[in-house]
């Protein structure tokens, strides 16, 4: 049994076959997915999809969407967290964070949304799902100011030292398709050597396709579309991680499932523990 701890099932890439994507995931053993919203206009869709398909969701404003977000969207988030506070499928505040990689984004605005959403998570008693890109130190500084009950640093791409600081704060680190690429040395090294209890698996579907779906720039120029990632790919990504760590596949699945339940405690009621 696997948990995809980060899947954008509401993305338009899935409009044509969303139910089939969920069916394929379950057939592959991916019994649970966490669907993080990225903008206030997406909150209702995340809630509805989680209920329709028996999945989990998180509510938040993604750093890449803060330029388009209004300050009133923070109130919409506060209202939605309040409205759904007793919904067992609401497992986190996310996807929130900071992106210091994509050029042209207003960092002060990202920081404003990040800190405000940390406060909402703290007040709701919910963990957070963090977007990290060249921003690990700044994210950690925010967590030093506003203590939240842990969560997941998703698609982790910082240093070992930064990873250890997240782990010290009770966070798990999310790994996915990137670890299937041999040139991604640092991420493969982290995925191989970090303590097993700190790792969760995710696809970030439809993004971050594993190498077997990835189309190079040359292939795309020649007319092949970029491969669409989907949650059914998670066990094959997990198999690569199991191989890197020298673990049996079942042991890796059990460990990462337990880690996801620990990182997002409300998942425990949705995903029964395995023996």
Q: Which stretch binds Zn ion (CB under 5 A): 64-72, 94-102, 110-118, 182-190?
A: 94-102
CA distances, 267 to each of 28, 50, 191, 227 (Å)? 19, 12, 23, 29
Q: Min. distance of Cβ 94 from Zn ion in angstroms?
A: 8
* CB 170, CB 150: distance < 8 Å: yes
Find the binding residues for Zn ion in span 196-225 (CB under 5 A).
204
Q: Min. distance of Cβ 222 from Zn ion in angstroms?
A: 28
Backbone angles phi, psi at 254, to 5 degrees: -65, -40
Q: Min. distance of Cβ 69 from Zn ion in angstroms?
A: 16
Cα separation, 197 vs 260, in Å, equals 10
Q: How many residues bind Zn ion (CB under 5 A)?
A: 2
Q: Min. distance of Cβ 61 from Zn ion in angstroms?
A: 12
* CB 79, CB 59: distance < 8 Å: no
CA distances, 58 to each of 96, 141, 171, 274 (Å)? 10, 22, 16, 24
Q: Which stretch binds Zn ion (CB under 5 A): 66-74, 90-98, 230-238, 245-253?
A: 90-98
Q: Min. distance of Cβ 157 from Zn ion in angstroms?
A: 13
Q: Which stretch binds Zn ion (CB under 5 A): 89-97, 167-175, 195-203, 259-267?
A: 89-97
Q: Which stretch binds Zn ion (CB under 5 A): 81-89, 93-101, 159-167, 193-201?
A: 93-101
In eight-state DSSP terms, residue 272 is: P
Find the binding residues for Zn ion in span 231-270 (CB under 5 A).
none
Find the binding residues for Zn ion in span 25-44 (CB under 5 A).
none
Closer to Zn ion by CB, 13 or 95: give it: 95
Closer to Zn ion by CB, 180 or 242: give it: 180
Cα separation, 28 vs 10, in Å, equals 20
Q: Min. distance of Cβ 36 from Zn ion in angstroms?
A: 6
Closer to Zn ion by CB, 95 or 240: give it: 95
Q: Which DSSP helix (H) or strand (E) runs through 85? A: none
Cα separation, 21 vs 228, in Å, equals 11
Three-class secondary structure assignment of 107-124: HHHHHHHHHHHHHHHHHH
Q: Which stretch binds Zn ion (CB under 5 A): 88-96, 132-140, 174-182, 192-200?
A: 88-96
Question: Interface with Zn ion by CB under 5 A: which residues?
Answer: 95, 204
């Amino acid at each position: 049994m696997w948990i995809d701890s980060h899947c954008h099932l509401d993305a338009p890439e899935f409009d044509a076959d969303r139910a089939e994507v969920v069916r394929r995931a379950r057939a592959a053993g991916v019994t649970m997915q966490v669907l993080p919203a990225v903008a206030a206009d997406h909150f209702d869709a995340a809630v509805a999809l989680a209920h329709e398909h028996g999945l989990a969701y998180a509510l938040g404003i993604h750093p890449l969407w803060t330029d388009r977000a209004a300050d009133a969207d923070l109130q919409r988030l506060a209202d939605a967290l309040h409205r759904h506070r007793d919904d067992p499928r609401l497992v986190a505040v996310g996807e929130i964070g900071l992106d210091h990689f994509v050029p042209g984004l207003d960092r002060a605005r990202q920081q404003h949304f990040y800190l405000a959403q940390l406060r909402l998570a703290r007040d709701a008693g919910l963990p957070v799902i963090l977007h990290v890109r060249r921003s690990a130190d700044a994210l950690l500084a925010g967590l030093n100011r506003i203590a939240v009950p842990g969560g997941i640093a998703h698609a982790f791409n910082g240093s070992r030292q930064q990873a250890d600081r997240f782990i010290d704060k009770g966070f798990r680190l999310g790994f996915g398709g990137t670890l299937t690429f041999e040139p991604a040395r640092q991420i493969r090294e982290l995925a191989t050597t970090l303590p097993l209890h700190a790792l969760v698996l995710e696809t970030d579907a439809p993004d971050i396709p594993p190498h077997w779906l990835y189309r190079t720039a040359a292939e795309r120029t020649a007319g092949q579309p970029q491969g669409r990632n989907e949650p059914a790919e998670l066990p094959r990504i997990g198999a690569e991680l199991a191989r890197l760590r020298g673990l049996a596949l079942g042991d890796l699945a059990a460990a990462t499932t337990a880690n996801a339940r620990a990182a997002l405690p409300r998942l425990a009621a949705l995903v029964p523990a395995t023996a």
